[in-house]
A and B are shown apart, each in its own frame.
Chain A
Amino acid sequence: MERTQSPRGVKLCSVIAFCAIILSPIPSWAAATISTLQGEAKILNPVSKTWVGAVSNYILTPGEEVRTESRSKLTLAFDDGSKVEIGPKSSFLLEKAEQAETSMRLSFGKMKAWVSRLANRQFAVRTPTAVCSVRGTEFGVQVAANGATQVDLFKGSLGVSDSRGNETLLQEGQRIGVDQRGLGQAIGLDEAAAQKKAEERSALKREVGLEMTKEDIQAAAAAEQKNAVYQQGKVMVDVNGNRVRLEEYIIRPEPNQFKLVVLNHRADRFDYFYYKGVFNTALPTDLRVAFQQLPGCVGAACQFYLTEYETGRSNTIDNVLENASGGVQRDVNNNADATDDVASFFDPARNDFSGVAPGVPFFKTIYPTYALKFNGVSHLSWNYGGVIAGFTSQNQVADVNAVGLVQGANCDTLDNCTGNRDPGFFHDIVYEATGGLGGGAVWDKWDSYVIDDEGKVAKHSDFANITSGADYKERLLKWNYQQIITASEFNGRKIDLVYEPKILIESGLIP
């Protein structure tokens, strides 16, 4: 299809194109009757300027404008057999309906026309940008809100021109668009239909994409929640590859008490540990001030010190309870007992170990009374029976052991033998029993692992082969501690706990 310049070079302010057809003369004026009406439409009387509802069989006269509502359409039948269908939400003006010329204007919306093949008669449809002229033609016109016009030719031929004077001849089965920039490229209706379908698919795909983007944002919010849980150390994997959840918090039962609770949850079990301390005086809001003095104080007696503590480990059925009471502060570096001198201690303020020079006073709490019980059965205890003023060293009390360490020749299996179980790894067992070979009626076993957050057991090489002492404990702070406790009183059950080593170090539970 070729684009030709109009010889007159007409330029219009509003973009107007027109097509014209010369049809044969018809005997009289071409009346337009509303032959069918679906939905609602109204007609503007050009004289009275009033809108009235359109009805079937109404004869439209030149100058009358028709507006259809949403989901409505009507058909105009002309005396010569021509027909115009006006689509929903369209504005249509019948300009002329004469013997030699029929013309109409579509301001917006859509219409389709079937024009009878008659010679020497003009049939024109004007839009803000285009008109169609037909010699026995079936065509459609659609006008957008911005005036852009789309012309589809189903049968016959059609001349289309734009406001710049360009003109083209549309062939049967073609579509052309006309806007303020002028005529577009004509394409086949098949291609147009395929293009429309592709555009619809593209728009729908975009909606699907937007929906998935929204879902991604919601999922990112959920991931952020999960991240926070991980970063707070509330979930990890234990040595058996199972999920273990941890929660730690502090309860303040009385002004001079605290209770640190560590909860462990796995799919099939619930274990907990608690450490309750009773201080010599009321505790401040910021517990750090008091907790920093828990391991002991250099130079002078601590302002805050424990007089009593209780630890509990339980699987909700069995328990290991430890209780120490009657605690007093003593300078262990300047008492009569040189074996209890402290050369280094864990300093919570630094979260590290600090050295203490020989002879420098170091005050720590010692306890005259202590008991360790498994389901109420004592495995270890002590009691200082004398006057407390004379109690200056923890070594003044002797352990009353119900069970003793099983080592070396007394072991009947590796599982029942105190020592390192996996050479090169931090997996250690402490086994205690009343008897010798084969174990006795009363026993307990502490199976301990040092693990990372993935449940992998730490290698000695990870600790530069340091396996005891302050340096070991300092390195231990970066790992997690899993302790599996079994005992003769548990009837085959176990207490399986994962906790931060810091809690155990700080409270002296890892000596």
Chain B
Amino acid sequence: MTIGAAAGMLWGQGLPARAVEVIPLYRISLTGGQYFFASDKSNLNANIKATAAPAVKLDEEWTLLPLYNGNFRGTKSVNDTVGSGTLFQQGMDHYLSFAGLYKPEDSTWRFKPAVNYKLEFLKETRDETWGKGLFDYQTVGVELAAENVYKEPFSYRLGYEFFYTFYPNYQSLESQAGIDPNGNRLNRENAGTDVLDTINNALNASISIPVPYDEPKVALNLGYRAAWQRYPDQPIIAQDGEPNDHKPYNRQDFYNSLTVGVTYPRSLMADALRMNLGFHTGVSHNGSNQNTYDAGKTRFISDSYGYYSVPVGVALGLAWGDKKNPSTADLGCTWIRQQYLGRLAQDENGTYLDGERQRQDRFVLGLGYGYPIAPNFRLTAQASVARATSNTKFEQSYRYTYTAATYLLGFTYDY
């Protein structure tokens, strides 16, 4: 680059006559691996992840950020739901967003309006094909965010999201039931149809704080999220098992989450080894006005969806070699306890344990290694193990206690 060109880049921006600049960001990851569940294992399958974000810088203040992210998952993650074709599962999702990034001149504030759309396909059984999966869903949303970088790179951020999630292939069976051979009703009067569809409003706030402020050694990250999730077509289940319709305010969940994280970057052996040590924890609460009724056991269970969740985790990242293209190793482990407020635990035979609420514990250990083989091009290896346990021992339709593991080998290109 000549001095003139550099001067142009450094000084030409922000003026009306300046041409737009496209800053392309790409990332593709191709991996293959297996999923292990209990004593079984899946076939060898591929995972593909591609991200493209050709940012268009209009001037010093405005940048448009179109984003596409596509995922194909032939190998399940240890965090995915188990049961119902656990070993055979393929997922594919496509996420599109279009954001405007506005950074006023001489301001540390940044503003971001965005719209997004997601389409997820899931094949879990032999008879499901792409687009026909029971749990296929779509999400459309808008977001407004504001961030103040009060001390580079530390900032605080506020955001509001509205999104609507709908499941085109999931309608309640009851809404499809007609009459029995004797001409009597098979469904209840107030049965909902699109019972999983949700309308969501969420507020987010986060801040990263340097500690100590002037010469930071540690970054403290705090986050808060409040979400109001409405299920307009999911009637409230009453004590006698009857659905009571209160449209449009049927089931409503209120979710609050507070997270705390600390990262401690260190340079060792004359900067030959860079280390990043992290710790995170938090607490989240989901409150819901919905109940359930177990018809098989004629049992009403109030507040079935309310829970507290507490995660605790540590992470260690190591990088060595060339700073722009280092070798990396990561180790992370997280323990999460989810304690339901109303959902009852069950013994091995399915008997509800009065007074004992359902509890789920989950421990996940992850290992990763990356080796640079060319600029922006890395070989990667990842392995994860998850151990889940619960005080519910009844596993007729869902596994509460199991061990699952995955490994993935492949490469990543990141530009």
Contacts and interface: CB of A to CB of B under 8 A. Distances in A.
Contact of B186 (A140, A144, A207, A272): A272
Given A233-B398, A502-B296, A208 B67 contact: yes
6 contacts: A192-B10, A201-B25, A208-B51, A215-B118, A221-B255, A230-B398
Contacts of A228: 305
A109 to B, nearest CB: 7
B304 to A, nearest CB: 8
A73 B295 contact: no
Nearest to B128: A243
Contacts of B174: 247, 249, 261, 263
A250 B241 contact: yes
B180 A352 contact: no
A502 B298 CA distance: 11
Nearest to A215: B95
Contact of A242 (B11, B25, B60, B126): B126
Interface stretch (B97-105, B260-268, B269-277, B327-335): B97-105
B196 A478 contact: no
B7 A189 contact: yes
Contacts of B299: 288
Interface in A84-122: 87-89, 108-110, 112
Contacts of A236: 83-84, 397
Contacts of B384: none
A479 interface: yes
Contacts, number: 285
B161 A453 contact: no
Contact of A474 (B55, B63, B180, B349): B349
A138 to B, nearest CB: 8
B105 A89 contact: yes
Given A232-B397, A259-B184, 10 more contacts: A200-B57, A207-B99, A231-B397, A237-B85, A247-B173, A274-B180, A312-B180, A352-B351, A478-B349, A478-B396
Contacts of B84: 230, 235-237, 243, 453-454
Interface residues of A, number: 110
Interface in A195-228: 196-197, 200-201, 204-205, 207-208, 210-212, 214-215, 217-219, 221-223, 225-228
B43 interface: no
Closest 3 CB pairs of A and B: A233-B397, A351-B351, A189-B6
Contacts of B44: none
Interface stretch (B129-137, B312-320, B364-372, B404-412): B129-137
Contacts of B67: 208, 211
Given A251-B188, A321-B181, A260 B305 contact: no
A509 interface: no
A285 B295 contact: no
A23 to B, nearest CB: 22
Contacts of B396: 233, 452-453, 477-480, 500
A49 interface: no
B235 to A, nearest CB: 12
B23 A200 contact: yes
Nearest to B129: A267
A479 B395 CA distance: 8
Contacts of A243: 84-85, 124-125, 127-128, 134
Contacts of A477: 349-350, 396
B287 to A, nearest CB: 14
Contacts of A272: 177, 180, 186
B353 to A, nearest CB: 11
Nearest to A238: B125
Interface in B55-102: 55, 57, 59-61, 63, 65, 67, 69, 80-81, 83-86, 93, 95, 97, 99, 101
